[in-house]
Structure 1
């Protein structure tokens, strides 16, 4: 009897420990002057096939650079291979004080539609991905706790056709850092039955400081209004746009 109880406790502790591990999956469509309907940026920053120098990835405030060099509470633990030729680079980060892992994918800029569709499918609990690191099995894709999209709002230029599933699971929290994302993504996010934690009402620069502030506040189990406020403060800090303008740029929920 005692042996059974001990085994039960060990099993319970293991399950509890795993459930406390949080995963975040960030889908980044690399900035691409040639293949996206954007106001052109300097050639080096707008090469959608060059992650190293891309505005949304390897540049100063790109996702990879910002989390690797600017944030002391995150550590990049590996660059991972992927079976998709559309993803030019995949990196895995671990939070230094919390049991949280962040997986970021840099999609070829000309594959922005694929990136958008993969993000939307994940927000609908589809395309679960398992990654093993240090003997720990981590669940990303549709099994992530938080899903984020960073880049140009491609839905301004193309439509997607996704077979959304009816899900009984808890609505997936999503962040969409792209211009006018609330307007253009609303239909799809409703069909995906996801929870729009943060999206935008106007033009914006989808750089990583806003993503970082949002994630940091989300990890504290803060309200959507608190997450929105932290995003606005970060955006104003770097863009010098004024808090009034920053607050009106971001929105939570429908």
Structure 2
């Protein structure tokens, strides 16, 4: 089980039976003298919907975020029960998978993160290849001291604030986006970028970042909204930031319905 307290950028809101970004609480707090009363005792872990969360106000040093209250517990099988996987562990895991296996993993994560089956996540028995109760698709396995243990994958929505304080650990980045292919040309070859835009608070599509795709030319419709899931780490050498894919196949997008 996790030895460190985790923070949350989204939450399950019981009155609406849905998952929302923390921005909704922040907007309310900013216009109600710091109060978040309509959300108190009604916000829970976005994954298991069992562990009760509390809102931590923004300070000069830290962003506003959500944390689990000490007396509350995640449901067995929820990925937030486990320590986060190290960068090395995630890279080793991804490199061990074939292309179709990476796509299968991304597909199951997409279904879970966006709740595409419209149901509460089922934490019923799901035995993985190592015999562990691997109930969340946001976990991977790691060998430690001759034992196989579960590790959680970090996650981050693409429409949230991102800066160097997020570090360069490997995350599962996800969101609803617009995509555009940008062709670039060097002296003797062409390469492609996948431009990602997200909705801002004014419901406008704004550029967020480019993904380097090398010789891969993605087939996308610039006027279509997509679900996207990416496994990679942040890179700040190119402003404002970009994402280094853990593997050229560690990206999946699907038309938003």
Q: TM-score range by the shorter chain?
A: under 0.3
**Higher RCO, 1 vs 2 (CA within 8 Å, ≥6 residues apart):** 1
Q: Which has the higher helix share?
A: 1
TM-score, scaled relative to structure 1: 0.27
Task: Considering fraction of residues, name the structure with more strand.
Answer: 2
TM-score, normalised by the number of residues in structure 2: 0.27
